[in-house]
């Protein structure tokens, strides 16, 4: 059957395991609907530069297992560079009928702005941070939690051997989803997340009191964006603005370990960093990503645009991009509270 319509798909922002599975989900559904799919390379830059890649079920064969994104990605916002009209021109020059934008808060906000300018776009929620509103879960999160949990499992034995505190820093700029899930599943002793600021003095007191509480060693999981306030009310670590205009975090665990060492407490740091984003997605993320991809094409084919596909109670839904743009889904403190009770965690950050 000759293709009557042509949809583009792009991946924007930081990569997340499952991006290629979303693309394959798009392609398989598009072929069933008689729609042609075109890959747009390097996020919005690919529309600006008309840099594309042909996609079909053969090209995307075995993409479910592939980490990264075969379309490549960039942190690039055309509105920041006043290049939005070049992107719109690229879209029409490529004869596209619709666009699927797979990305996190930045890409979805940009998608919303383009939709307001008339671009027929559907968003797919991607980020290992799991902090997108309008969905129960982003793809990539499950893989990141699994990776972090495996690292914590390994760190238990070396921490026990030396009687140390091992501080594991995980990603999560503004939300503690990875830290709380990996920390609880990995039986960490303390988890510090951005949603629950902690006083440095309380953390030091917790560490000093370990031995008297009969503990030989401890695992402390800290989200990179955790807020730990010193005695002057200043955060222990601050982010640095990057050239791409977003805050780069990382290093709070190093500062914390230095302070604990200074207080005579043997401690070391492991920063998991981009290991959490790399490699093959879990089976859960592959399934979720496939569903997101397939549903996004169906919606676009039905003529619905300006929405993001979401997951609600295991069903695919749609949410207007206007309700997502510029917002963030944080760990619900009441849910976090329940989790602290269910697991033997000591949570100095609460209240
Ligand atoms: O937004 C996802 C994320 O992995 C954050 O957890 C982290 O702060 C950031 O991206 C790192 O970005 P980059 O790859 O640009 O260093």
The pTM (predicted TM-score) of the whole model is 0.94
Instruction: Name the residue among 194, 191, 187, 175 with its Cα closest to residue 150.
Output: 187
Sign (positive or negative) of CA dihedral 85, 87, 93, 99:
negative
The lowest-confidence range among 158-167, 233-242, 278-287, 292-301 is 233-242
The region, left, alpha or beta by phi > 0 then psi within -120 to 50, assigned to residue 341 is alpha
Calculate how far, in angstroms, residue 274's C-alpha sits from the geometric centre of ligand 1. 8
C-alpha span between 270 and 1 (Å, rounded): 54
125 touches ligand 1 (CB under 6 Å): no
**Which residue is associated with the tokens 């207007």?**
320
pLDDT at 333 (0 to 100): 66
Which of the 8 DSSP states describes residue 70? T
Given pLDDT bands bounded at 50, 70 and 90, which one contains residue 351? very low
* pLDDT tens profile 107-146: 999 999 999 999 999 999 999 999 999 999 999 999 999 9
Calculate how far, in angstroms, residue 246's C-alpha sits from the geometric centre of ligand 1. 10
Average pLDDT, the chain: 93
Where is pLDDT greater, at 245 or 8?
8
C-alpha span between 152 and 130 (Å, rounded): 20
Instruction: Name the residue among 197, 205, 256 with its Cα closest to residue 225.
Output: 197
pLDDT at 334 (0 to 100): 66
Percentages of the chain per state (helix, strand, coil), in multiples of 5: 40, 20, 40
16 touches ligand 1 (CB under 6 Å): no
Query: Can 15 be counted among the known catalytic residues?
Result: no
């Amino acid at each position: 059957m000759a293709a009557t319509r042509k949809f583009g798909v792009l991946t924007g922002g930081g990569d997340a395991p499952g991006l290629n599975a979303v693309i394959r989900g798009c392609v398989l559904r598009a072929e069933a609907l008689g729609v042609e799919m075109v890959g747009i390379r390097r996020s919005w830059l690919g529309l600006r530069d008309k840099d594309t890649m042909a996609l079909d079920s053969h090209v995307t064969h075995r993409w479910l297992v592939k980490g990264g994104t075969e379309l490549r990605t960039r942190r690039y916002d055309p509105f920041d560079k006043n290049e939005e009209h070049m992107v719109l021109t690229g879209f029409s020059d490529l004869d596209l009928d619709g666009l699927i934008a797979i990305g996190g808060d930045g890409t979805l906000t940009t998608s919303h702005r383009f939709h307001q300018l008339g671009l027929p776009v559907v968003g797919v929620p991607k980020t290992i941070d799991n902090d997108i509103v309008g969905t129960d879960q982003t793809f990539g999160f499950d893989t990141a939690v699994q990776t972090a949990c495996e690292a914590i499992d390994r760190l238990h034995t070396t921490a026990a051997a030396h009687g140390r505190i091992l501080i594991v820093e995980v990603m999560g700029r503004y939300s503690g989803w990875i830290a709380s899930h990996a920390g609880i599943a990995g039986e960490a002793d303390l988890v510090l997340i951005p949603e629950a600021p902690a006083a440095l003095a309380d953390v030091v007191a917790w560490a000093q009191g370990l031995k008297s509480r009969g503990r030989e060693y401890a695992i402390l999981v800290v989200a990179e964006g955790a807020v730990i306030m010193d005695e002057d009310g200043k955060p222990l670590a601050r982010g640095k603005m990057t050239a791409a205009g977003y805050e780069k975090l990382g290093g709070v665990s190093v500062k914390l370990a230095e302070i604990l060492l200074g207080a005579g407490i043997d401690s070391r740091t492991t920063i998991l960093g981009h290991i959490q984003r790399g490699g093959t997605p879990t089976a859960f993320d592959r399934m979720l990503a496939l569903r997101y991809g397939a549903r996004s094409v169906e919606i676009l084919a039905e003529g619905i645009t300006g929405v993001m596909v979401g997951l609600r109670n295991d069903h695919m839904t749609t949410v207007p991009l206007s309700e997502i743009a510029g917002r963030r889904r944080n760990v619900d403190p009441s849910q976090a509270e329940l989790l602290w009770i269910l697991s033997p965690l000591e949570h100095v950050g609460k209240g």
